[in-house]
Amino acid sequence: MLEDIKAAQDGSFLLLHGCAHNPTGIDPTPEQWSKIADVIEEKNHIPFFDVAYQGFASGSLDEDASSVRTFVDRGLELFVAQSYSKNLGLYSERIGAINVVCSSPDAATRVKSQLKRIARPMYSNPPVHGARIVANVVGDPSLFDEWKQEMELMAGRIKNVRQRLFDNLSDKDKSGKDWSFILTQIGMFSYTGLNNAQSNNMTNKWHVYMTKDGRISLAGLSLAKCEYLAEAIIDSFYNVI
């Protein structure tokens, strides 16, 4: 990744996932983010953070914002596109926010006028209902606290599901294969390592519906279904090439 960032033309826009990378579930460590920021700074690139799962990765809004804050603390200019679909359960409201961190008030004024110039002919005014729900939650200290607690609960549930799936896979797999990547991946998704044919077997034989690149959503999995899923994964992994 660092090599690619170095090879990109100076001043490129780089799309990065702030936390809980979709589809891999693999996030850079704080040290790796720091190295990524070094190269981006050196190359005058402009980071564009796509943040769709803030709070869902670690359970903490602050912890999940730490990648973006690493860049802001260095005084870098950047874009952050935030979604509230997942962390506030507002899928159909189409609500998110774009934040642009600029180096000066003058740059901010110019960026704002460009954003308006793009938005005005494209959709003019965004729908306001979802925005009011978000403003209500974020603007009220007790609702904000409740939201944070519920997010911690959701992130904790996903971690429990990861642990159960890992335990079931490790119990059932007598080959000694290391399934610990299920535990180290972060957020809603897991890359199981199943290929296209194996993913088809999951669907056709076991009625597990997943993307053909082997990605599963752990948010859609209950503890009670982990054992069945582990059995399906083991069968597909070892019996289908």
Taking CB positions, which residue lies at the least distance from ligand PLP?
A: 83
Nearest approach, Cβ of 14 to ligand PLP (angstroms)? 14
Q: One symbol per residue from 4 to 43: x for binding ligand PLP (CB under 6 A), - otherwise; what is it? A: -------------x----x---------------------
Nearer to ligand PLP, 17 or 164 (CB): 17
Q: Which long-range contacts (CB under 8 A, 24 or more apart) does 161-168 make?
A: 161/218, 161/221, 161/222, 161/223, 161/226, 162/190, 162/218, 164/223, 164/226, 165/190, 165/218, 165/221, 165/226, 165/229, 165/230, 167/226, 168/226, 168/227, 168/229, 168/230, 168/231
Nearer to ligand PLP, 17 or 45 (CB): 17
If one asks whether residue 64 binds ligand PLP (CB under 6 A), the answer comes out as no
Q: How many CB atoms neighbour CB 42 within 10 A? A: 11
If one asks whether residue 85 binds ligand PLP (CB under 6 A), the answer comes out as yes
If one asks whether residue 59 binds ligand PLP (CB under 6 A), the answer comes out as no
- Counting Cα atoms < 13 Å in the Cβ hemisphere of 91 gives 0
Which 177-216 positions form the footprint of ligand PLP (CB under 6 A)?
Answer: none
Residues that bind ligand PLP (CB under 6 A): 17, 22, 50, 52, 83, 85, 96
